[in-house]
Amino acid sequence: MASTGGDKRIGKLPPMRAPAGYELASRYRLLEPVGRGGMGTVWRAHDGLLDRDVAVKEVRLPLVLDEELRAELCARTEREGRATAMVAHPSVITVFDVVTEDDRPWIVMELLHARSLEELVKQNGPLPPRRVAEIGRHVLGALRAVHAKGILHRDVKPSNVLVTDDRTVLTDFGLAAFEGDASITQAGIVLGSAGYIAPERVLGDRASPGADLWSLGATLYTAVEGRGLHGRRTAAAALAALTSGEPIPMDLAGPLAPVLRGLLQIDPNARLDGMRASLMLARVAAGGSAEEPLGGPHRPASRSQATTGGPPPGPHTIPAAPRRPSHRGQHRADARPDRAVYVPPPHDSGPRGPQRSAEGSHRKSPDPAAGRRRAPASPDAGQVIRQLSEIMRMVLPRRFWPKNMR
């Protein structure tokens, strides 16, 4: 592309703007811009190799930066884009590729057909606290995932939160940095969006996970109140309002107010951490209070429980199993099927004394033989024996009969 006028061009492109139709890395053809910001432009592009539409972020750096700092930012953005591509989380935008061309980085991402949180607020007004809590819960999950990799976003704001029917996605990692990197400030410049930069970053401190959480709090405040924090348009004005001691006005936040106050603390050490903020957002999203336990409000113990020290009743209390009565020392004759009771055959005759029932008795017999177990006898045993004797007499010869039968 030839140079025209006084424009200084690097390679094919002007240093801060790409034309529509340009083919990046001989693969991604820029179709139309779908979003613009102070730090870059997002294009809808077509991937000619895989024949699919993608989103391409053109990172645009401030013109006042010198060449050394510009090169450092480009190298950091490329490194961070590759690191973000390794974060697998449904609320983190999927990064397909990172390209460095014409001395600046380009980030190739998935193209989502969604509206940003900023557009939702402009079109629908302030959102209900429960819906904002649900959106915040997903964004916080994305931040915790990238923070676990040592990555800081540094530009959390409503326009970088995309909302679909089934997903909430944190996008635009063009300003991301590794935790512990020195703060990039030159001539009073702080990279980020006015009104969503944490106070410590405005004062020149290094970026940290807590700074991203403050930006999340400012983002959720805008969504639920329908206006920016203190209505200020610059980071310095917002910082001055925060340090003035004026309470943060919360007219529509409702149950979300404790979460916002915790995230918007000026002192990073007093700010809510990610784990507790996630629990509180989950409670509000479920329709409860941010301060109450997840199982429901606390129930006072009854007088009997206070006396005995037992646990409070609850819907998930498991009743104790009934204790089976002990049978030690109890030997019931009817409970032991192997115990036989002697019944005399019908042919026995002779006077007998009264018979005592053996049921319930557990006394040792003086006769050792009396304690032996008797074979079970049928009441018809005598009749059966007589019938067998008659059959033997009819079938067998006399010499084979028993002596008592001859």
The number of folded domains in the chain is: 1
> Which residues pair with residue 37 across a beta bridge?
40
pLDDT, residue 275, reads 94
pLDDT at res. 119: 94
* Catalytic residue set: 155
Whether 307 is in a domain gets the answer: no
Mean pLDDT across the chain: 74
> Residue 97: inside a domain, yes or no?
yes
From residue 83, how far is each of 101, 151, 371 by CA, in Å? 19, 8, 88
Q: Is the pLDDT of residue 360 over 70?
A: no
57 labelled as ligand-binding?
A: yes
Give the pLDDT of residue 1.
38
Q: Which of 78-92, 272-286, 311-325 has the lowest mean pLDDT?
A: 311-325
> Residue 10: its pLDDT value, please?
33
Residue 251, domain extent: 23-285
Whether 404 maps to a domain, the answer reads no
Inside any domain, residue 12: no
56: Cβ–Cβ under 8 A, 6 or more apart, which residues?
24, 28, 30, 42, 43, 44, 45, 106, 107, 108, 109
Please report the pLDDT score of residue 393 as a whole number: 75
- Indicate whether 317 belongs to any domain: no
* Pair 20, 31: CB distance under 8 Å: yes
pTM of the model: 0.63
pLDDT band of 132, cuts 50, 70, 90: very high
Q: What percent of the chain has pLDDT over 70?
A: 62
Residues in the chain: 406
CATH code of residue 66: 1.10.510.10
Strand partners, 302: none
Question: 103-134 b/e with 16+ CB inside 10 Å = b?
Answer: ebbbbbbebeebebbbebbeeeebbebbebbb
